[in-house]
């Protein structure tokens, strides 16, 4: 069974890109034609979401290693939305993309085990085809153990939330742990480092990665040093203000070890400068392809490259 890390690195090397496209379908931001088509009911909304996602995947699949659908944008539409999520994931796979399901699951151990089975089981048994899952560790270490085990057993990956990109991240993550005197996010990073080391076997990188918001670039750099065997999933580039160049210290010398996430800045590129002057709303997929290509060019200009 090929590991998650092997599949991921094959995609990065083949495409010479660490880009992950976030598929966060907000109907209020859709092109007018799709927004109108979605207005009738949940089924219509789900059909519009799937059409939007397929067009984006077709346009960007040669430029990205993976997609990251955010589950909430699909759950919002009930069973129809869940079907759209499943079909989106399956379509992305057929187009050569890995699927990182951004569901931020985390619960007490017996419930966490059910979440792990739902999203990290073999594809024939899983609720949704996915290669990796984001996991919330803030219920404690035992809440993450089932996800680590399932990832190891099934050739999947997890990305543990350590330092998130939202403005309120520090409300909890900056609190000081009494026993060690470290901020809580550093305490969780130490847990993740231990999980990663235990799970990596003979590979350089472990199936246990972390989420490190690039809106805090110095802290992301700290996490790179602290977790040498974990992939860093780096949200925050673009719409949240993170800069492509800030991601460079998170990669190893071969351009591996990190993934750059771009969601709104790519998928809604048709509605912002400079793309809205070059593409019509009906050309949203072409605008997204150009925005993705521009981000890769920006990374390259900052010094990113794949290979020695």
Catalytic residues: 104
CA contacts within 13 A on the Cβ side of 20: 28
Neighbours of 163 (CB within 10 A): 26
**b vs e for 90-110, b when ≥16 Cβ sit within 10 Å of the residue's Cβ?**
ebbbeeebbbbbbbbbbeeee
> How many CB atoms within 10 Å of residue 171?
9
H-helix or E-strand spanning residue 97: none
Radius of gyration of the chain from its Cα atoms, rounded to whole angstroms: 19
Burial status of residue 245 (CB atoms within 10 A of its CB: 0-12, 13-18, 19 or more):
middle
- Residue 42's alpha-carbon distances to 32, 54, 73, in angstroms, are 17, 18, 12
Provide the greatest CA pair distance for the chain: 57
């Amino acid at each position: 069974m090929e590991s998650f890390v092997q599949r991921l690195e094959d995609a990065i090397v083949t495409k010479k890109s660490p880009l992950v496209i976030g598929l966060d379908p907000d109907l209020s931001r859709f092109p007018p034609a799709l927004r109108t088509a979605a207005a009738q009911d949940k089924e219509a909304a789900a059909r519009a979401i799937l059409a939007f996602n397929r067009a984006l995947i077709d346009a960007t699949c040669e430029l990205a290693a993976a997609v990251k659908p955010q589950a909430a944008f699909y759950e919002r539409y009930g069973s129809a939305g869940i079907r759209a999520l499943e079909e989106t994931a399956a379509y992305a796979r057929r187009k050569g993309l890995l699927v990182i399901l951004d569901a931020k699951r985390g619960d007490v151990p017996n419930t966490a085990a059910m979440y792990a089975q739902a999203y990290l089981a073999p594809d024939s048994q899983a609720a949704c085809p996915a290669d990796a899952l984001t996991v919330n560790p803030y219920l404690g270490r035992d809440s993450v153990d089932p996800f680590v085990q399932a990832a190891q057993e099934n050739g999947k990956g997890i990305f543990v939330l350590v330092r998130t990109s939202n403005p309120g991240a520090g409300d909890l993550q900056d609190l000081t742990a009494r026993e060690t005197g470290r901020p809580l996010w550093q305490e969780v990073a130490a847990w993740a480092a231990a999980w990663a080391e235990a799970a990596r076997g003979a590979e350089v990188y472990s199936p246990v990665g972390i989420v490190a918001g690039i809106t805090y670039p110095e802290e992301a750099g700290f996490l790179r040093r602290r977790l040498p065997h974990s992939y860093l999933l780096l949200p925050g580039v673009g719409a949240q203000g993170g800069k492509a160049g800030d991601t460079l210290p998170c990669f190893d010398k071969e351009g591996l070890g990190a993934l750059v996430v771009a969601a709104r800045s790519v998928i809604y590129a048709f509605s912002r400068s400079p793309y809205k002057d070059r593409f019509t709303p009906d050309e949203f997929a072409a605008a997204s392809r150009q925005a993705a290509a521009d981000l890769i060019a920006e990374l390259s200009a900052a010094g990113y490259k794949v290979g020695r």
